[in-house]
């Protein structure tokens, strides 16, 4: 069986440009933005866009998959810091929550478009990686005595689903300050 060739460097660059432009255009103009506008924003020909993504659903699914990959990489890096004793699990989990919420602010429109178009990444490997790393953070925090024994990965996903991604940064920071005590065994510190 012949070995598959690696994509050309220009094809990889074009794909990245298209995905970035799709995120920006969907965020700016909503899920109904046209493929022509996305191609123009990416600086590629429409034909190039369609060679990479035959339909808008394919494009949005790829953008969502890229977002999930970033979240999984972030969760695994947080767990690696805990395993390497360079970070406490509670601090890493709280910081991870904050980062995902901030990423969701800009990617919110892409996820909304995915729901509208029915686009869902077919491969759940990165979702599984993220869930496993978050479970590791929770377990490490429970072992440290910093995270309540009943906290689960589903609780973290529930928190993500309630995040005020449509609010200004101060409101998102306040949300994080308010939800963190639900995870931790430590008392909440009053904010001045």
How does pLDDT run across 93-134, given as a tens digit for each residue?
999 999 988 888 777 666 666 666 666 666 788 889 999 999
| Spans of the chain below 50 pLDDT | 192
- Answer for the pair 138, 156: CB distance below 8 angstroms, yes or no: yes
Q: Which pLDDT belongs to residue 44?
A: 94
pLDDT in the model for residue 6 = 65
In contact, 97 and 156? CB cutoff 8 Å: yes
Supply the pLDDT for residue 121: 64
Give the three-class secondary structure for 147.
strand
Q: Would you state the pLDDT for residue 57?
A: 85
pLDDT at residue 124, as a whole number: 83
- Residues 148 and 141 sit within 8 Å (Cβ to Cβ): no
Q: Which residues pair with 147 in a beta bridge?
A: 184
CA distances from residue 12 to 7, 40, 52, 84, 110 in whole angstroms, order as listed: 7, 17, 10, 33, 21
Q: Are 146 and 184 in contact (CB under 8 A)?
A: yes
User: What average pLDDT is seen over the chain?
Assistant: 86
Count Cβ atoms within 10 A of the Cβ of residue 178 and give its class: 0-12 exposed, 13-18 middle, 19 or more buried: exposed
Across-strand partners of 184? 147
Strand, helix or coil at 119? coil
| The predicted structure's pLDDT at residue 104 | 81
pLDDT at site 51: 92
Largest CA distance in the chain: 66
């Amino acid at each position: 069986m012949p070995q598959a060739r690696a994509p050309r460097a220009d094809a990889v660059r074009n794909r990245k440009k298209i995905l970035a432009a799709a995120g920006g255009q969907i965020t700016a103009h909503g899920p109904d933005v046209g493929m022509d506008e996305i191609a123009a924003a990416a600086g590629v020909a429409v034909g190039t866009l369609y060679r990479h993504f035959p339909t808008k659903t394919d494009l949005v699914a790829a953008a969502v998959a890229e977002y999930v990959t970033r979240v999984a990489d972030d969760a695994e890096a947080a767990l690696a810091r805990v395993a390497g004793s360079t970070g406490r699990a509670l601090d890493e989990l709280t910081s991870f929550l904050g980062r995902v919420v901030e990423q969701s602010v800009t990617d919110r429109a892409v996820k909304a478009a995915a729901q509208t178009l029915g686009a869902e990444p077919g491969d759940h490997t990165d979702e599984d990686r993220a869930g496993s790393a978050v479970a590791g953070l929770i377990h490490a925090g429970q072992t440290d005595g910093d995270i309540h024994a009943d906290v689960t990965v589903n609780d973290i996903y529930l928190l993500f689903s309630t995040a005020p991604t449509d609010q200004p940064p101060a409101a998102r920071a306040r949300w994080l300050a308010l939800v963190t005590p639900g995870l931790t065994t430590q008392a909440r510190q009053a904010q001045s």
